Amino acid sequence: MKIKKEERKNLNGHGSCILWFTGLSGSGKSTITNYLEEHLFSLGVHSVILDGDNLRHGLNCDLGFSEEDRYENIRRISEVAKILNEIGLVVLVATISPLQRDRELSRSICGHDLYEIYVSCNMEECVKRDPKGLYRKAKKGEITNFTGIGSPYEPPLNPHLVLESDKKNVKDLVREVISFLNQNNIELEHL
């Protein structure tokens, strides 16, 4: 690209990065990213959310939940996140991304601009929240390969940040993300 990342940073007044939120269904990934995006917007930071559920209705509508399809789902999301980051946006990715190897794929595609954030929440709380009734359906056998029931979730080995969504409210969690960005010199100058 002729326009360099530094030039986009100067134009936007802030740097860019990819915040990759991973965790079980119902852990709060989408809730946190929505509140975070609102906060960033109020500060004049250009951001976008790539939500795994929403992308499965469009870009990834041809994919199922086999191991190969999940891998391809993450690969596509990573490629889109990389492009959006390169044009100067703060990219908020909210996707279960259950396997360590898939998250390593994301890191290999996105590079050092990707920060892995583990939204930790105990299974009981996720089932209690169950915003779409998916755990109930999985337990009845209506959904197969559901992460946490019929398919594994591998917590990140070395996330950049852990958010305990079963112990803190969403505003405190967003503050933790903002603090993380500031401490790691992500260069969101408006913050």
Q: Is 99 annotated as a binding-site member?
A: no
Q: Is 30 annotated as a binding-site member?
A: yes
Q: Let me know: does 118 contact 44? Beta carbons within 8 Å.
A: no
Q: Is 188 annotated as a binding-site member?
A: no
Q: Is 148 annotated as a binding-site member?
A: no
106 annotated active-site:
no
What's the distance, CA 22 to chain centroid? 5
> DSSP secondary structure string, 110-143?
HGGGEEEEEEE--HHHHHHH-TTSHHHHHHTTSS
Q: Is 108 annotated as a binding-site member?
A: no
Supply the DSSP symbol for 147. Answer: B
Q: Is 24 annotated as a binding-site member?
A: yes
* Tokens standing for residue 59: 């870009």
Identified catalytic residue from 78, 97, 120, 165: 97
For 152: left if phi > 0, alpha if psi spans -120 to 50, otherwise beta; the answer is: beta
Q: Is 29 annotated as a binding-site member?
A: yes
Can you say which residues are annotated as belonging to the binding site for ATP? Answer: 23-30
Could you list the residues known to form a binding site, using ranges.
23-30
Which residues form the catalytic set? 97
